[in-house]
Structure 1
Amino acid sequence: MADDELATIGAAPGPVRYTSTAPTAPASPWPQRLVIAGLLLAALNLRPAITSLGSLLEEVRDGLGMNGAVAGLLTSVPALCFALFGVTAPRLARRFGPATVVCAGLAAITAGLAIRPLAGGIAGFLAASALALAGIAVSNVLMPVIVKRWFPDRIGAMTGVYSMALSLGTSAAAAVTVPITDGLGGSWRAGLGVWALLAAVAALPWIAIARGRTNREARARSADSQDGPAAPITRSPTAWALACFFGLQSTAAYITMGWMPQIFRDAGVSASTAGVLLAVTMAMGVPLSFVLPRIAARLRHQGVLVVILGASGLTGYAGLWLAPAGGAWAWALLLGLSNCAFPLALTMIGMRARTGAGVVRLSAFAQSTGYLFSIPGPLLVGALYQATGGWDLPIALMAGLMVPQMIAGVLAGRDRTLEDEL
């Protein structure tokens, strides 16, 4: 991958130190319009495989005979796939071009979502889910690269559009999966499988984009790129702090997406309302994905934002413990605010390195290591729920993990760079 390809992570006005040479944008407007449509459609498909399952987790568990521990494993699969397959995206992009890999990723999402409802057992369901999530992993990593290559003069605007579409797809899948399932006769298999249609539509523009000149040039530039500094990134305290912060916020996000509807349903909230509550939580990222990175980029230390988001999460978890149904809408909003640690983490990755090469190394390390860190969380929640038959201990675990997340975020938000530490 070229040194500047991920330098746009968290791009926003402010004291970002790294620099890069922008590639030349396509001269004709229609390829850019096609890429805009492709970006929007791709982003809409990067979370429904996860949030649609969260809305129907009880029906899937009953239909496949899953216990709580296995269901916890299912909610950990996204983080595992993102860690394992996301790190392959740069190498694949160097060989085939980023647009070609995104196209293949969307094809994998389509196939996985279409096959998953047909699975007769747990192993087949997990395998099909892993196929879809592998496609999401490589596509997710390469979205900033696509923005950099095709829109070098509109990085901020296009990143905002992509982030909003991602949040919209996340919340929409949570909100409408149960009504769609009811409309299709109440079959959870049909309710999950319908999302393969949207993924198939999203793959269509990428077939043309992958054959275009800009994708071939991106492949050539990536093949000619030089590696970053030789010093191991594991020597950087900031890199470890970012990895821990990224991993813990991912833990909270995937526990929320996988288990929050079930928490509300067990408290007496209807399945459709529980799905809407999850949608509200996810929808908080739509406006805040624009605002938060811009605020963070203007601050020399992002710790204050980390603490604000963490305090929102702690309050939301306290509410889930004390009155899960009575204050459900308030807890959904607070946890949605807390989950906006994701765009904050990406912004800090971009600010903690001076050069494009440094951002690439820091992003790869923080995200891959962080996703590995996040795997045990949903598993523990499922195991505790299975062992105790209630949510007191799982919610206590979620709240307890918020404390080290805040500590790691404050350390990661200090005004220093990877290059200085190495």
Structure 2
Amino acid sequence: MDMAKDDVKSVARPAPAEHAPTPVTPAPSRWTRRLLVAGLVLAALNLRPAISGLGPLLEEVQKSLGMSGAVAGLLTSVPSLCFALFGGLAPRLARRWGPASVVLAGMAAITLGLALRPFAGGTAFFLLASAIALAGIAVSNVLMPVVVKQWFPDRVGPMTGLYSMALSLGTAGAAAVTVPMTNALGGSWRAGLGAWAVVGLIAVVPWSAVVRAGRRADRATAAGGTAPEPSEQPPLRITRSVTAWSLGVFFGLQASAAYITMGWLPQIFRDAGVSASGAGMMLAVTMGMGIPLSFVLPRLAARMSHQGPLVIALGICGLSGYTGLWFAPAGGAWAWALLLGVSNCAFPLVLTMIGMRSRSSAGVVKLSAFAQSTGYLISIPGPLLVGALQQHSGGWHAPLLLMTGLMLAQMTVGVFAGRDRCVEDGG
């Protein structure tokens, strides 16, 4: 299938009114498209620091707030829970307000949540502030593929690669910079984590301009008396699609692997004798691998009719990294960090697949919300089970066995999800 041609054709067909995420809008101006590109990059930079910046300081936060080991383990699963709960609201919010307005609100929520976390005097307030930030991340997660499909329908691969690269940069940057920045700001974890609110505030600027430009375009369209033509296409039953379910399970398993890595990899290295700053750097290396690969991989995936070979290749890298952590966690730390970083690029791969598995932006918003909400629900037990197994066994071999089993399942369902099918076909 020539996806670029299909994408272009999909623009000419109005989405079914029953499940269209937004009113049909005129093509954006060159200035608006530039704002959208800047907005996508800045939004993506904000989608992970709330999580990856916490990992290297988790021990300090735990001691300061008096968290139990179980609650600390819960912190590694709260992102997935929030993404599942709030991500499911994204289609409804997008239909009412438009994707750009919802992403703007998401950036504001991220900024507010990160700004409130330093004022936490106990676990409950810290979790609440984190949930506010994670709610903003959740709706933005779902709507990133929608923004790409709606405004860049002929460049799904490149634009997905661009914001995936920025997302990886934000993830890696937070992991690498948080500890040194905390030390530079006086050594308090509160200052180190709160500083990331500034990045969220910067992202609000271009999205505010995009929303204003969209409202002006809407007024001009209304004044011209144009309206989208009605469509007689049947509503898309996303829950009846085997493709949608396979993408949801694949998304969930790769998310589980990613959050286990972000939440526990620094502790695996620290227990092996690596310093806190060194463990943070290892996580930064892992996340940093996604910066170049997230730009290249979606382009490659968009040119392939079946993405199964990419799924297998990434899975093999993950299995190799787990093997290294079993036998020599400290001795080969750099190699294992690199391999796990390559494996984590299943995330930009599945985002690209979501954009390719529907012919319209209306289908993408439903598929994205379904796959991500379902996937994040599936991913919740993973980090919790890793923490429980580590505490029960006193080591990391049992958790690594679990991680290996999850990776094998991810490879299997990912090959199935990589088939050349669209959800509109019922497959």
TM-score under structure 2 length normalisation:
0.88
- Aligned-pair CA distance for 1:206: 2.4
- Aligned-pair CA distance for 1:228: 6.8
For residues 59 and 166 of structure 1, the distance between their equivalents in structure 2, rounded to whole angstroms, comes to: 25
Cα deviations by residue, 1:198-228 (Å, 9 ceiling, x for unpaired):
2112212322322223676399999998797
For residues 155 and 271 of structure 2, the distance between their equivalents in structure 1, rounded to whole angstroms, comes to: 46
AA in 2 matched with 1:293 = P
Whether the 8 Å CA contact 1:16–1:297 is kept in 2: the answer is: no
For residues 176 and 98 of structure 1, the distance between their equivalents in structure 2, rounded to whole angstroms, comes to: 31
Of residues 349, 363, 372, the one that matches 2:354 is 349
Is 1:160 matched up with 2:161? Answer: yes
Q: Percent identity?
A: 69
Q: Which moved more, 1:247-256 or 1:67-76?
A: 67-76
For residues 246 and 190 of structure 1, the distance between their equivalents in structure 2, rounded to whole angstroms, comes to: 33
For residues 199 and 225 of structure 1, the distance between their equivalents in structure 2, rounded to whole angstroms, comes to: 39
SS in 2 for 1:120: coil
Change (3 A) 1:321 1:51: same
Of residues 274, 281, 284, the one that matches 2:279 is 274
AA in 2 matched with 1:319 = G
The residue aligned with 1:130 is: 131
Change (3 A) 1:84 1:225: farther
- Aligned-pair CA distance for 1:323: 0.6
- Aligned-pair CA distance for 1:355: 4.7
Whether the 8 Å CA contact 1:149–1:214 is kept in 2: the answer is: no
Whether the 8 Å CA contact 1:12–1:156 is kept in 2: the answer is: no
The residue aligned with 2:338 is: 333
Change (3 A) 1:399 1:14: farther
Whether the 8 Å CA contact 1:246–1:342 is kept in 2: the answer is: yes
AA in 2 matched with 1:299 = M
The residue aligned with 2:10 is: 20
The residue aligned with 2:67 is: 66
Is 1:293 matched up with 2:294? Answer: no
Change (3 A) 1:183 1:153: same
The residue aligned with 1:43 is: 44
Change (3 A) 1:138 1:354: closer
Whether the 8 Å CA contact 2:91–2:366 is kept in 1: the answer is: no
Supply the RMSD in Å over aligned alpha carbons: 2.8
Is 1:310 matched up with 2:311? Answer: no
SS in 1 for 2:305: coil
Cα deviations by residue, 1:25-62 (Å, 9 ceiling, x for unpaired):
333x4444333333322221111001000111111111
- Aligned-pair CA distance for 1:421: 3.3
Change (3 A) 1:298 1:41: closer
Is 1:56 matched up with 2:54? Answer: no
For residues 18 and 414 of structure 1, the distance between their equivalents in structure 2, rounded to whole angstroms, comes to: 21
- Aligned-pair CA distance for 1:157: 4.0
For residues 98 and 14 of structure 1, the distance between their equivalents in structure 2, rounded to whole angstroms, comes to: 22
For residues 203 and 231 of structure 1, the distance between their equivalents in structure 2, rounded to whole angstroms, comes to: 33
5+ long unaligned stretches in structure 2: 13-24
The residue aligned with 2:402 is: 397
SS in 1 for 2:306: coil
TM-score under structure 1 length normalisation:
0.89
Whether the 8 Å CA contact 1:67–1:386 is kept in 2: the answer is: no
AA in 1 matched with 2:28 = P
Change (3 A) 1:197 1:14: closer
For residues 300 and 209 of structure 1, the distance between their equivalents in structure 2, rounded to whole angstroms, comes to: 34
The residue aligned with 1:249 is: 254
Change (3 A) 1:228 1:74: farther
Whether the 8 Å CA contact 1:79–1:375 is kept in 2: the answer is: yes
Q: Which moved more, 1:182-191 or 1:345-354?
A: 345-354
The residue aligned with 2:392 is: 387
